[in-house]
Structure 1
């Protein structure tokens, strides 16, 4: 099986809708890392310094065939067409371990899809 990783740095209020939409599109789960970020539309403090925004990095490890529907779902749920809401990118995964508990679900999805 081939896997890909979707990384989506988003505003914290968008995290739950994005995870819910991704699960509805076939993702089995997500990992969320809290962080800070800056962008083209930085807020300035009264000293003229840039204020770093809170950001959640939502990670989805997906079987390759699920990437497009999940990416589409998080694009809509995250309202990525609005400026400053977030982005998403897809990276190839060379190897992955620890997925044995989900292998039966993957096999079932493939059986349902192709048989």
Structure 2
């Protein structure tokens, strides 16, 4: 079984919704890293030298390759990445090998057969 790693940088206000949507699209879970900070093309506004920016979360999903694109698109739609600049991004990377996912393989086999 082949896997992809989806890395999503989202506003912390939408993390729970993104997680629910990703699970509905086939993700079996994620690791969430709180309080990340990023900078895009435009620098964030400041107020007396303090940056006015929302907190970001980094979500790491290891997902089966056949489900990856669907999950990625669901994350993008829920987080609103294409609506306004600065909403966040998500990328997917190939996973050469993974351990610790054996308990999920049986569940994923059934899900993948349904999808295909």
Normalising by structure 2, we get a TM-score of 0.86
Cα distance in 1, alignment partners of residues 57 and 9 from structure 2 = 6
Instruction: Note if contact 1:3-1:93 (Cα within 8 Å) is conserved in structure 2.
Output: yes
Q: Could you tell me which residue of structure 2 aligns to residue 44 of structure 1?
A: 46
Q: Could you tell me which residue of structure 2 aligns to residue 61 of structure 1?
A: 62
Normalising by structure 1, we get a TM-score of 0.87
The number of equivalent residue pairs is 113
Cα distance in 2, alignment partners of residues 69 and 80 from structure 1 = 15
Q: Do structure 1's residue 92 and structure 2's residue 94 form an aligned pair?
A: yes
* Aligned residue runs from structure 1 range 1-115, under 5 A: 1-34=1-34, 35-39=36-40, 40-47=42-49, 50=51, 53-81=54-82, 82-113=84-115
Instruction: Note if contact 1:38-1:53 (Cα within 8 Å) is conserved in structure 2.
Output: no
Structure 2, unmatched stretches of 5+, are none
